[in-house]
Structure 1
Amino acid sequence: MPSSPQEAPAERTVVPFDPGTLPDSLRRLGHRDVLERWQAVDRSAHGAHIVAVGNDRGGDEVHWTGAALVTARPHTAYLKIVDAVGDAPAAVAAVVDHARARACVQVKWEGWTARPEDAAAAGFTALRPPLTDGTGEAVGPASGYVRWLHADPAVTEPPYYRQTTHFSCGAVTALIAQAHAGLLPAESLDRRAELTLWRDATNFPSCEPVGLGVAVRRAWPSSSVVVHLDVDRPVLLDHFPETEQEWRAHLQRMSRADAARIGVPIAAQALPLTGIRSAIERRERVLLLISLAGMQGFDVPHWVLCHGTVHGAVVIEDPWAGTTTGDTWVDAHLLPVADESLATMSAAPPDGFHGAVLIGDGPGPRSAASLPEPTDEEEDGQRP
């Protein structure tokens, strides 16, 4: 990543974004279509605010010459520019200064209106476009940009793929992890690969840690796999009626037997933050089970990939984005989460247990085409 230019701090105004009452200074900048996009979804859960620059025209009135809509997932270590209007370079510089003041490690910029040359001039690097899932459904902007706010971090960029169901996050994070390690061609990461691995890992419909670890080892026999699970009982079943829990619990006991048979160790303790960082430093991939309560406002279990570290934060890939709140793949990709926040998120609902799957390097790529193919019924699974 290129070194960040050291611009002088921009004079800035920071105000909450109220989609029902846009300031006159903002309306005078024009870009009606952009403002309509800003107002199209409820971004309040992501702390939407305006960062503006302006000239004093006399008295108490300030006329903005540039402004940016800025959001971010709660309990993370970045800010995202949705668009910059008017004097975009000055507005973006003000956002960067604002992010530094908030101790963020990163600023992102969605590519709705940002031109590549303008992003590069502001010190941003283009993100890899997300992989298509084969459904033809476009979600979010076609492009995005990132700027790290400290010395260039040793964070390499995985491919980004958005899960196509509500329940296949575990399979997707494993596929992204193996593609990032060079053990799976990125072009093989599609809906068929997603549902194929999910089918082998699922506890119907979610993927619990042991079953996911076993499925990864079966798919990539040369990769080392270790499961961390700090409870000795079936998990992710509490929301089912008792009659529905029994057979799923039996499947989890079968997964433990499979793990013992094929050599997947189960560590009976949580993987601490220091363990996550150490694993990443060893070039291992960490599939971490978290609660989405902090980032998305609902306390449900969800798998993410931890693959990089920066000062004070771990960089994750999240295969899910909440489009109804303005959340897109630009938020979910190369997402830095502060250490303390990630430690809190890693207590999975409903009772705060901890689950993780560590995947070590293995030689040689293995195409997803070599995995068993899903049935037609599984291909028609539920989408988000």
Structure 2
Amino acid sequence: MPPQQKQQKQQKQQEMPVRIVVVPFEPNGAPPTDLRRLGRHEVPERWHTVDRSAHAPHIVAVPGDGGADWVAAALVTARPDTAYLKIVDAIGDVPAAVQAVVAHARGRGLAQVKWEGWTASPEAAAAAGFTPLRPPLTPAGHAEGPAAGYVRWLRDGLVTEPPYYGQTTHFTCGAVTALVAQTLSGALPDKALDRQAELTLWRDATNFPACEPVGLGVAVRRAWPSSPVTIHLDTDRPVLLDHYPDNEQEWRALLQRTSRTDAVRTGVPIHSCHLPMTAIRSAIGRREQVLLLVSLAGMQGFDVPHWVLCHGAVPGAIVIEDPWANAAAGDTWVDAHLLPVPDPSLDTMSTISADSFRGAVAIGTSGTRP
């Protein structure tokens, strides 16, 4: 066996505890006796501060010799239809708990493990093979979650970390994804990613209050004339209007037709064919950014249209930036940042409404056409 493969095999063997115990986390019930014996009372107490039930909370524990009392445990959650696990906290023998979670994730064929930085130190995270996430740029008063977070990838791929910025309103997701994409491409400096930029771009792109694909693509071109932009929308009718009464739909539809006229005038192509996941992967391979319209029904449980940024890829999953996190479910920026979503799940999420249309805006680097 080649030395590198032998080293990788030894590392995996060292990570795999003799035995792993996985039990559901019951927020309304008494914690397992073994968990109470581990101490660190303030940590399990935090586990009950929000209702995490939508994100499949469970405890990954390491029993002692002969299956005796637990020596380590971690609270683990994840958004549905994704390819990662998140450690909220680890207690007891923390290195053993983290190794158990990594082994648990490998056993499920997942792409990534994250670790919230409530109690994890940079030194402990590094020793467990995790790297620090860039701190979020979200303005004070709008950020939820820990000050730090860490990630460990279990699959190789093409992933460059952008800054994380959480939208500060319920309706500026499209503007934020475009700003983050331009920051990642180098067209916008990190220091310019702020609330003024968020609201300014939204004001230019909005269909009141949402950003539909054509209006968003045209606004991106106006803001960055040298950035190649292509709009993908496989329907000719106005979109994201079905929930409005007829009199509210009429003027918004007029604005969308105006956006199409603006696209023609400014030279932004609109592709009317369906955009497959393979094309998104190809765009990522060319270092392009894809703003993708999805429904939050799968990941969050409510069918609301929402913009995310597709910017990375690993085997079996596309890596997105989600500018919104559901704090009421224990969801934080650590979940939303560098989030791997399996291709079939993302395909389902991005098939919008009863008409099953897909909307996206692809942004290339200067001198290229998406």
Query: Normalised by the size of structure 2, how large is the TM-score?
Result: 0.94
61-70 or 224-233, which deviates more? 61-70
Counterpart of 1:89 in structure 2 is 95
Counterpart of 1:42 in structure 2 is 51
- How far residue 62 of structure 1 moved from its aligned partner, in angstroms, is 3.2
Alignment deviations for residues 243-301 of structure 1 (CA, whole Å, 9 cap, x no partner): 11100000000000000000000001221001100111111100000111110001111
Query: Which residues in structure 2 correspond to 1:1-384 (within 5 Å)?
Result: 5-6=11-12, 7-10=14-17, 11-20=19-28, 21-56=30-65, 62-133=68-139, 135-151=140-156, 153-362=157-366
SS at match of 2:59: strand
Matched residues in 1 for 2:88 and 2:355: separation? 36
**AA paired with 2:353?**
P
Matched residues in 1 for 2:160 and 2:277: separation? 20
- How far residue 36 of structure 1 moved from its aligned partner, in angstroms, is 1.2
- How far residue 139 of structure 1 moved from its aligned partner, in angstroms, is 1.1
Q: Give the share of equivalent positions with the same residue, in percent.
A: 70
1:289–1:356 Cα contact (<8 Å) kept: yes
Alignment deviations for residues 206-241 of structure 1 (CA, whole Å, 9 cap, x no partner): 000000000000000000100000110100001111
- How far residue 351 of structure 1 moved from its aligned partner, in angstroms, is 3.3
Count of aligned pairs between the two proteins: 356
**AA paired with 2:145?**
G
Alignment deviations for residues 298-324 of structure 1 (CA, whole Å, 9 cap, x no partner): 111100000010001000000000000
- How far residue 115 of structure 1 moved from its aligned partner, in angstroms, is 0.7
- How far residue 26 of structure 1 moved from its aligned partner, in angstroms, is 0.4
**AA paired with 1:360?**
G
**AA paired with 1:143?**
A
**AA paired with 1:261?**
R
1:230–1:353 Cα contact (<8 Å) kept: yes
1:200–1:215 Cα contact (<8 Å) kept: yes
2:174–2:307 Cα contact (<8 Å) kept: yes
- How far residue 122 of structure 1 moved from its aligned partner, in angstroms, is 0.3
* Runs of 4+ displaced beyond 4 Å: none
Query: Normalised by the size of structure 1, how large is the TM-score?
Result: 0.90
240-249 or 3-12, which deviates more? 3-12
1:238–1:350 Cα contact (<8 Å) kept: no
**AA paired with 1:16?**
P
- How far residue 348 of structure 1 moved from its aligned partner, in angstroms, is 1.5
**AA paired with 1:25?**
D
**AA paired with 1:9?**
M
Which residues of structure 1 form unaligned runs of 5+?
A: 364-384
Matched residues in 2 for 1:156 and 1:125: separation? 13
Counterparts in 2 of 1:274 and 1:138: CA distance versus 1, 3 Å: closer
Alignment deviations for residues 52-92 of structure 1 (CA, whole Å, 9 cap, x no partner): 001157xxx73111000000000000000000000010010
Which residues of structure 2 form unaligned runs of 5+?
A: 1-6
Matched residues in 1 for 2:338 and 2:200: separation? 25
Matched residues in 2 for 1:329 and 1:362: separation? 30
1:300–1:349 Cα contact (<8 Å) kept: no
1:29–1:85 Cα contact (<8 Å) kept: yes
2:137–2:165 Cα contact (<8 Å) kept: yes
Matched residues in 2 for 1:199 and 1:8: separation? 50
Counterparts in 2 of 1:191 and 1:16: CA distance versus 1, 3 Å: same
